[in-house]
Each structure stands twice: as structure tokens, then as C-alpha cells.
Amino acid sequence: GQSLEQPSEVTAVEGAIVQINCTYQTSGFYGLSWYQQHDGGAPTFLSYNALDGLEETGRFSSFLSRSDSYGYLLLQELQMKDSASYFCAVRAMIKAAGNKLTFGGGTRVLVKP
């Protein structure tokens, strides 16, 4: 099965940099995804790492290291609107898993002025 661990909460000030770690135990997966969810809203797809290394999308970057069973989401130049929960997720590399995602418990990011 799959198990993903994230810190429950991170607090930072505007303009700062936040790194949200995701450590996982899984027998094999296609890639690591990140979703953002604002309070009262729906999760929305942010980024995907199929290969080891860094993927950059504007102020957000995501990193994957399969050898270390570890990934992270980096939020730079934090803005108040970045206050949200962030979830990592994997899709298992077994036929029975199909297109199912397993999500981590989520990290709540609070950005202060």
C-alpha cells in the first residue's frame, strides 16, 4: 500500500519561503502530485513530478527524490492568498490501482502579514 506523511501546519510571513515535505512509503508509483485547497474550497491540481528533480511553475516548485522516498513543495515569495492546505498524492504503479490517487494528510500553510 501507500502511505504519505506531511507536517500538519506551517506558519510563515509574507515574502518568505516555505518548504512542505512529503515522505512516503510505497512499493512503486508513477509520480508525486501536489494539490492546493483553500478553506471552504475544492482541491486543485498544482504540480506533478514524474522524474527525480525540480519542477518549477512560477513561484511554486516541486521536487522528487525516489531514492530518498521524499518530495517537497516549495512556495516562494509567499502571498496572503497562499494560505491554504497543500496535499501530496501518488498513483500506485500496480494494475489494480488504476487511476486512483492516495493523498497525504495535508499541510495547512498560514501566511501572516
Partner 1 sequence: DAEITQSPRHKITETGRQVTLACHQTWNHNNMFWYRQDLGHGLRLIHYSYGVQDTNKGEVSDGYSVSRSNTEDLPLTLESAASSQTSVYFCASSESLGTDTQYFGPGTRLTVL
Q: Which residues bind partner 1 (CB under 8 A)?
A: 30-31, 33, 41-45, 48, 87, 89-91, 98-106
* Closest separation in Å from C-beta 21 to partner 1: 15
Nearer to partner 1, 88 or 113 (CB): 88
* Residue number, 17 or 65, with CB nearest to partner 1: 65
3-class DSSP state of 76: coil
Return the C-alpha cell found at 66. Answer: 525516489
- CA nearest to 19, candidates 69, 82, 80, 68: 82
Task: In angstroms, give the least distance from the CB of 105 to partner 1.
Answer: 4
Q: How many CA atoms lie within 13 A of 67 on its CB side?
A: 2
